[in-house]
Each structure stands twice: as structure tokens, then as C-alpha cells.
Chain A
Amino acid sequence: MSGRGAAIRQRVAETLELPEDIVMDVPKVTIIGNVQMNIENHQGIIELGSDKVRINTNIGVLKITGSRLVIKSIDSEEIIIAGNIENIDILC
């Protein structure tokens, strides 16, 4: 997506009050406490370890560090990560 295209789309979304993540095709991250994290609209797993998980998305790489990390479920739309989450980094 070109920069200008993205800016136009954002303006359209704002004016029509459409949900941004659908219009812009960006991931939506829901964090529940420090035990669960849902990432919708992802682009695959880069790395999976019991203390580090890296997920690829449109805007960059999401790095999650913690302990006892487990992928509770994964399909093409959504990844749910559960465990003891300590750090969340968005690496754009």
C-alpha cells in the first residue's frame, strides 16, 4: 500500500466512521490481562518458542516475550497466544 493511498483510506474511514482495521487492513490486537493475546489479521508466525513469540503483520513484527507461552489456537484469520506475557514490542 502506497503512503498516499493509505492516507486517503484513513480519511475515508474516519469520515464514514468505518472500523479502521478493516479498511486499512491492519492487525487488531486484544490483550486480556497478561495471560492472553488475540491477534487478528496476521501474516504468519516467524518464531515460536516457550519464552518468545514473533508474529508477522502488515505493520511490522509483533514480538511477545514471557514464559510458558503457548499458541492457544491458530488459523488464517486469528492467532491466540496464552501464557505469562511480560513484554510486547511492535517493531515497525
Chain B
Amino acid sequence: MRSFRITAYLKGYITVRVEGMYPEKFLNMAVASGVYFWDVKRLGITELKLKLKIRSYKTLQSISRRTGCRTYIIDKQGFPFSLHRLRVRKMMGIGLAIFILLIFMLSSFIWSIEITGTKNVTNAEVQKNLQELGVRPGALKRGLAVADIEEKMLSKMDSLAWIKIKLVGTRAEVEIVERVPSPRMIPEERACDIVAARDGLIIKIIASKGDALVLPGETVSKGQKLVSGVIERDNAEIRYVHSSAEIKARTWYEKRAEVPFSTTKKVRTGNIKSRIFLSIGAKTYAIKNPDIPYKNYDKIDKSIVPIDTGKFQLPVMIRIESYHETEDMAVALSAEEAKSAAIDEVEKAIADSMPSDAKIINKRISASVGDGSASAYGFVETVEDIGAVKEIK
């Protein structure tokens, strides 16, 4: 029952007043011709008012003549009439249509990219590779073959073990898992020698492949050949092998560090001023170009290209230069603080330069406080494999 109201409104209906001697006769004749009325009321001795579909009105006119009644339209209701009223305000209708269209269109692009899971790889690197493959702000969602791009990314970036790209609304969510890097090895088929990576005193050398050139107890210097991959024997051709040997040597590391008592550190005060430029094609317009009153500052440039779908790029670019005021802040350390800082620096420097399989047999760190600064000196002796593979060209 309710649906009738809705269809009636959608198609539009009119309210008519009938005046005449026998309006009932008029009703009967109209009904017999197939007209449907509703909400029929008697207004007065000679009047009736009723509602009917717009289409039926024409039939009414011929009947009214025959029954001697006059019909007046008192109201018009319904969608078709609103549409007609819109005709005068065309822009509103057009505006509404454009609005709906815009919403649809804009939501079929990617506007932001979110990358998670990066540890050693920088977000910028992932983003750059993504952009090359087409995942960038302004890209059409439909044109992105996600599985394809995931595969390409994995082959492009060795550091990725796994990548998942999800297009959620207008955002691309990229999750990555990094690959634990495998050591770079010279393939077995290539011939190579083993040379000393550092100066040292050989303690043990056993060559499983290749000829050993030094004996335990010998002192070797950095670069000296320890195992040769070139095998020469009498009565046989020269062979080239991929040398491999177990070498233990005693070597040392020494590092120095100095930490002054007062240093200056550049610190941002928090004041920021930005300049905004808009470039259309070759012309650049300054939208906001204030003077920069700071004496020292960090300048950060950011460019945005609002519409860039790979194939079609609008030559409009917005560039924002932000100037962050900086200040040199004096950092004062006490003698003790400077001394421990120096010691830490030395220890870290030595640890970083040592390989993980080195065994420390002697460690000596001395620190002294001087005039205005503290310095530390570290000396570490280790036993380790100082062999490094070197290809024979």
C-alpha cells in the first residue's frame, strides 16, 4: 500500500477541483474510461476535489465537457515538477551531477602510500621503487596489477623477502619483510687466492684447496698472498682452483678518540617559516613568500605534483620550502663525562672493525683528561681468520 505513494510521487500527480451540477456523473464516466482517482472529497454543494495521475488529465477534459463540469488544477506534486523547477536553476542540477561524478572519480585514484616493516631499508627507497612501478599518488587504482607489481618489487629490491600491497580505499598499504642478507661469496667455479686482510702473525694455516705460501710463525702484512689458487706441478698443466683454507693469526687493532668538553650542537628552536610556490608549465608563481629573518636555519624542500597518472601528467607543481630556525647550543661536559664518552667511542670503533669470529686475547684502553678535552686510546689483540678471498683475474 505504501509503495503506491512513492510511485505516485515519482511519476508526479495533480490535485484537481471539479465544479458542476453532477460531479458524481463525472466521476463515474472517468472511472469507466480507466482513470484512477484517490483522496476524493466533497468541498461544497457543487465541488469535488480529487487527485489523479498526470496522464489521466487529458481524459478528464473530454469527459468534463460532456457532463457539464469545469476542472481546475489546484496543485502539482511530484518529481517531474521538481525537475521542471530545476530547469530554471540548471546549474544546481549540473552541480549535483558533477559532485557525484567527482566523488566517484576521485575515489578511484590512490592518494597516499603507507609503508610498514622497514628496518634497514629506507622508506624512501621502497617508495622510489614503487613509484617506478606505478604506485604513486594520483595513480589509477584499476590500472595497478598488484600481484604483478609485488613480484617485480621483489626482483627489483634484493633486500626484500616479502611484500604485500593492499589497496584500501584511496590508500596503498605496503607491508614488507626484509631479507637477512647472505654474505657475498665468490662462486665455486671462479679461481681465487687468499690474501691477508690485515697485518698479523700466522698461528695456524691449513689449506684445503690451493697451495699455502706461508708457515705458522711468520709475520705477514696486509695484502700478502697466503694461499695461492694457481697450482703448478711438474709434468702437469697449470690448474686454477678456488682456494679455501683455515687460517688463524694474531692481529691487533688500535683506535684513538678525543672528546672536547664543550661542543656546540645545532638545535631547532621550533620556529618555522614556509614559502609556497606554484608552477604551471614553465611559469612559477609565489603564493607565499615571506622574508626569512632567521640567521641560521635548516631548509627542507618538498614538491607535490597533484595530478600524475603516469600516462597523463598535469604540468602543475606545488613546491613548499620550509625554513626551520636553528640555534647553536653549547653542550658542556664534565671531565668525567668527556672521559667516558671518549672510552665509549674507542670501544665502539674497535668492535665495529672487528669480525664476529675474532677472539680477544688482550685489551688495553687508557684514557686521559687534558686541557679542554678528554682522549682515549684503545689497543686490542685478537686471534682471528685474517684470510680474504681474492679473485684471480
Chain A residues near B (Cβ < 8 Å): 44-50, 70-76
8 pairs from A and B in contact (CB 8 Å cutoff): A48-B24, A48-B42, A50-B42, A70-B41, A71-B37, A73-B39, A74-B31, A76-B34
**A44, B31: Cβ atoms under 8 Å?**
yes
**Chain B residues with CB under 8 A of A46:** 24
**Chain B: CB-nearest residue to A54:** B24
**Chain B: CB-nearest residue to A44:** B28
Expressed in whole angstroms, the minimum distance between the Cβ of A3 and any Cβ of chain B is 28
Q: A74 CA to B31 CA in the complex, in Å?
A: 7
**Chain A: CB-nearest residue to B40:** A71
B22-50: CB near A (< 8 Å → 1, else 0) gives 01100110011011111111100000101
**A74, B41: Cβ atoms under 8 Å?**
no
In addition to A44-B27, A44-B31, A72-B39, 19 A-B residue pairs with Cβ atoms within 8 Å of each other are A44-B28, A45-B27, A48-B24, A48-B48, A49-B42, A50-B41, A50-B42, A70-B41, A71-B38, A71-B39, A71-B41, A71-B50, A73-B39, A74-B38, A74-B40, A75-B36, A75-B37, A76-B31, A76-B32
**Chain B: CB-nearest residue to A72:** B38
> Which one, A44, A47, A49, A74, contacts B37 given CB within 8 A?
A74
**Chain B: CB-nearest residue to A71:** B40
Q: A46 CA to B26 CA in the complex, in Å?
A: 11
Chain B residues near A (Cβ < 8 Å): 23-24, 27-28, 31-32, 34-42, 48, 50
Which applies to chain A's interface (DSSP): helix, strand, loop or mixed?
strand
Q: A49 CA to B43 CA in the complex, in Å?
A: 9
**Chain A residues with CB under 8 A of B42:** 48-50
**B40, A75: Cβ atoms under 8 Å?**
no
**A74, B48: Cβ atoms under 8 Å?**
no
Q: A48 CA to B42 CA in the complex, in Å?
A: 7
**Chain B residues with CB under 8 A of A49:** 42
**Chain B residues with CB under 8 A of A48:** 23-24, 27, 40, 42, 48
**B39, A70: Cβ atoms under 8 Å?**
yes
Expressed in whole angstroms, the minimum distance between the Cβ of B23 and any Cβ of chain A is 7
**Chain A: CB-nearest residue to B38:** A73
Decide yes or no: A74 and B24 within 8 Å by CB, A48-B48, A50-B42 being known contacts: no
**Chain B: CB-nearest residue to A74:** B37
Q: A75 CA to B37 CA in the complex, in Å?
A: 7
**A45, B37: Cβ atoms under 8 Å?**
no
Expressed in whole angstroms, the minimum distance between the Cβ of A37 and any Cβ of chain B is 14
Q: A76 CA to B31 CA in the complex, in Å?
A: 5
**Chain A residues with CB under 8 A of B27:** 44-45, 48, 74
**Chain B: CB-nearest residue to A77:** B31
Expressed in whole angstroms, the minimum distance between the Cβ of B341 and any Cβ of chain A is 95
**Chain A: CB-nearest residue to B34:** A76
Q: A44 CA to B38 CA in the complex, in Å?
A: 15
Q: A45 CA to B30 CA in the complex, in Å?
A: 11
**Chain B: CB-nearest residue to A52:** B42
Q: A73 CA to B4 CA in the complex, in Å?
A: 12
**Chain B residues with CB under 8 A of A70:** 39-41
Expressed in whole angstroms, the minimum distance between the Cβ of B1 and any Cβ of chain A is 10
Q: A49 CA to B46 CA in the complex, in Å?
A: 10
**Chain A residues with CB under 8 A of B50:** 71
Q: A46 CA to B24 CA in the complex, in Å?
A: 6
